[in-house]
Amino acid sequence: MTATAAPGPLLRVRGVHRRFGAGPSAVHALRDISFDVAAGTMVALVGRSGSGKTSLLNVIGGLDRPDAGTVLIDGSEVTALDDDGLSRLRREKVAYVFQTFGLIPVLSAAENVGAPLRLARVPRAEREARVELLLALVGLADHAQQRPGELSGGQQQRVAIARALAASPRLLIADEPTGQLDAETGLSVMALLRAVVESEGVTALVSTHDAVMIGLADRVLRIHDGHIDEVASPC
């Protein structure tokens, strides 16, 4: 078998600082954060509430700007983009999954998944084929016409994951995606994210405070008081 080169980093974070407030009461949410994430891998970001996980994800995804440092995603310097550039980045390269599912209540599962493609003016036949594929991928092919209120929490999060994948992003950012789910359902969602990394070729950065859920990750970043204390392999 011919050896293949390891994929290079899709994400590069260098010297990122983020402070909220000023003077003695200032909160240093991020302190000189630097790391890489290889393309096609799933990385767990582990830390207690208030450790800086969400601040870091917001900076990486362009939802917030750091006070210092740089973030590059697939060659695009996120920290140098203007508002239009950030909007384009979020349409084309970065997608989000949050613990609050954020689905549109009046739309069916299929319509929720297809919403980003409709906004991108993807032709109907192509859009419908992509939606069908993604709902099958997340195990909801038989629930395409149900609205969020008719689905369980775990099913709603699966719809949210399918919607995030609709436009074939390069990086999937998931902030506590199992935070509102019971342990068994949460583990199934994490297993789904693992499968998505492999089947869709997406790179995933997933924050969690639950150490039980990190076993499926390729790497674990531990964050404490705004510092990356340790880079480890899952147990």
List the chain domain ranges.
8-21+28-93+169-235, 103-168
pLDDT at 232: 54
pLDDT, greater one: 188 or 34: 34
The answer to whether residue 212 scores a pLDDT higher than 70 is no
Q: How big is the CA angle at 38 (ends 133 and 225), to the nearest 5 degrees?
A: 110
pLDDT, greater one: 16 or 199: 16
Q: CA 42 from chain center: how many Å? A: 10
pLDDT at 231: 59
**Pick from 42, 46, 43, 81: nearest CA to 61:** 81
Phi-psi region of 38 (alpha: psi -120 to 50; beta: other; left: phi over 0): beta
70-92 pLDDT, tens digit each = 999 998 999 999 999 999 998 88
Task: Provide the Cα torsion 80, 40, 137, 161; round to 10°.
Answer: -30
Whole-prediction pTM:
0.88
Query: What's the one-letter identity of residue 10?
Result: L
The answer to whether residue 183 scores a pLDDT higher than 90 is no
The answer to whether residue 156 scores a pLDDT higher than 70 is yes
User: What average pLDDT does the structure give for the chain?
Assistant: 89
pLDDT, greater one: 186 or 56: 56
Q: What gap in Å lies between CA 210 and CA 90, rounded to an integer? A: 27
Average pLDDT over residues 53-75: 95
Q: What gap in Å lies between CA 30 and CA 51, rounded to an integer? A: 9
pLDDT at 2: 39
pLDDT, greater one: 187 or 61: 61
**Pick from 234, 218, 225, 221: nearest CA to 13:** 221
8-21+28-93+169-235: CATH topology is Rossmann fold (3.40.50)
Two structure tokens written together for 137: 């991928």
The answer to whether residue 209 scores a pLDDT higher than 90 is no
What is the C-alpha R_g of the chain?
18
